[in-house]
A and B are shown apart, each in its own frame.
Chain A
């Protein structure tokens, strides 16, 4: 699995998304199931999966799937 696929699985699970939902469209707060509580769980799940600790600045910056991929892959050098 690539990093993107890994993250996609986490997003779909935590946000309880229907299979037809396009991950490119989900946004924090706009997407009903991505509220603050879900966001905290999402961050925790990503940290546990990749064994990283996500910085405060990134917690408040990750608000879409593409930003998550860019930040987790980039700054944290996470690989699947």
Chain B
């Protein structure tokens, strides 16, 4: 399995006439030869004597991809960010991290202020946010080796090849979306970048017109596909669906597996997190039967261990904390500029924050979360931080149920709760529908006197 992540190598080994990328505005394919030329030109323009941290707000467009690849080729460390991040949050992040500034029109970008940025560790490849919704400045430090290894492992696990064509709708600043780009380029395949969503006629028209073969989705997108009906919208060329970004209900997984099998296609359940560059495991279609509900086996060179609360390894069948060991684990987090000089603090070991067990064949089943993060419409949200944001007179608890946030308030009244729901939604930049509220006489507590989050989540489902 190759390590390192060389953009010129990745682009250079594909025949120049092969199609590479397309976006909503493009009239024709940008082929690998043209892409390599544009990226090389960008790298020359962005070259500096000193490696720099560069914030890159990136949309799913060709110029965004060229800027990302150009920055990597120039040896800089991009921090890929959501272009819709509120200006205030962006400014605060920039004030904290002191990145070099990308200036100029798309296709003509240069760097400014590259001289007084933070010191970067030589293995640091890129930064991704953990959760932009609450304004947290915490970033994940990914090494080039980890990215390169995971890219190769995914290509191998999904059997990606040059004839694959991704419907690239997942945001590029999201680890899952970025890995779709990295893996398809590494395989010499093509990508139809789009900012359209599965709920638009134009999205499905585009997939059909361009003959897309693969689609990556989160559980929320699966909810949409269930509602629309896969066979109603998916063109016959769509042969591969991969799902990650949260736990998929087993019955939904069975349905999609059956529908894909019926059309001679493949459905891969995947498990990952930004901290793993990003994918950890996959359940391939040929192993689906008998393992419904599992997220499968670890990708190449990775392994899972299940630990109890004291860090002791548990045998198959017993539920504990899921830990992962492998070459794709992050170097660590960064909370500020000084952390960017740090090397690898993880040693290839990642506590995933999830609970689960391994069966006798080593298949991983996830049963819950040990930490307090939720995936809402694909976005990662800290439940404790949401609790902190809610101003109520009584005690409250926030849990995730069914892909929505549930705010349980002790002694709340209906009008107060509705107002709270809307205020929180606005602050989190979520639709009001993503939050539900409930009033209770008293919050359930565990034997230790802490809020019984598990019970609240179960009751709310």
Q: Which residues of A approach B to under 8 Å, CB–CB?
A: 14-16, 28-29, 32-43, 56-57, 59-61, 63
Neighbouring B residues of A41 by C-beta, 8 Å: 431, 433
> Contact: B200 with A35, CB < 8 Å?
no
CB-CB contacts below 8 Å: B199-219 with A = 199-201, 203-204
> Contact: B432 with A33, CB < 8 Å?
yes
List of 6 A-B pairs having minimum Cβ-Cβ separation, nearest first: A41-B433, A38-B431, A16-B432, A60-B201, A37-B377, A56-B232
Q: Which residues of B approach A to under 8 Å, CB–CB?
A: 197-201, 203-204, 220, 223-224, 227-229, 232-233, 376-377, 422, 425-426, 429-434
Neighbouring A residues of B429 by C-beta, 8 Å: 32
> Contact: B233 with A56, CB < 8 Å?
yes
> Contact: A59 with B228, CB < 8 Å?
yes
Number of A-B residue pairs at CB separation under 8 A:
64
Task: Give the complex CA separation of A43 and B198 in angstroms.
Answer: 14
Known: A37-B220, A40-B433. 19 other contacts (CB 8 A): A14-B431, A16-B426, A33-B431, A33-B432, A34-B431, A35-B377, A35-B431, A36-B197, A36-B198, A36-B220, A36-B224, A37-B376, A37-B434, A40-B199, A40-B227, A41-B431, A42-B433, A60-B201, A60-B233
A18 → chain B, closest Cβ, in Å? 11
> Contact: A28 with B228, CB < 8 Å?
no
Is chain B's interface secondary structure helix, strand, loop, or mixed overall? helix
- 28 A-B Cβ contacts within 8 A? A14-B431, A14-B432, A15-B431, A15-B432, A16-B431, A28-B199, A29-B197, A29-B200, A33-B432, A34-B431, A36-B197, A36-B224, A36-B377, A37-B376, A37-B431, A38-B432, A41-B431, A41-B433, A43-B227, A56-B228, A56-B229, A56-B232, A57-B201, A59-B199, A59-B228, A60-B199, A60-B203, A60-B204
Task: Give the complex CA separation of A53 and B426 in angstroms.
Answer: 30
